Structure 1
Amino acid sequence: MTTLTICEAPLTLAQLRAVLDGPVTVSITHPAWTDVERGAATVAAIVAEGRTVYGVNTGFGLLANTNIAPQDLETLQKNLVLSHACGVGPLLPDAVTRLLMVLKIASLSRGASGIRRETLEALVALVNAGILPCIPSKGSVGASGDLAPLAHMSCILIGVGEARVDGQTLEAETALARAGLTPLTLGPKEGLALLNGTQCSTALALAGLFAAEAVFAAGLAAGALSVDALKGSDAPFDPRIHALRGQPGQIAVAAALRRLIDGSAIRDSHRDDCAKVQDPYSLRCQPQVMGAVL
Structure 2
Amino acid sequence: MTAANQNQTSPALLVDLGKTKTAAAVSLPDGSRRDLPTGPGAAGLSQPDGLSDAVAAIAQVAPPDAVAAVAVGAAGALAAPERRAQLAGELTAVTGAASSVVTSDAITAHLGALGGQAGVVLIAGTGAVAVAVTRAGAVHICDGAGPQLGDRGSGGWLGRAALDLMSEGQAQAGVRAVVQTTLGADWPAVAARTDAAAAAERGRLVPGLAELWREGDAQAAGLFDRAANELAATVRDAIGYDDAHQVALLGGLGGLGPRFVDLLGARVPGVTWLSPKGDALDGAALLLTHHDLPHETVVSRSVA
TM superposition score category, shorter chain reference: under 0.3
- The structure in which a higher percent of residues are strand is 2
Q: Which has the larger radius of gyration?
A: 1
TM-score under structure 1 length normalisation: 0.24
- The structure in which a higher percent of residues are helix is 1
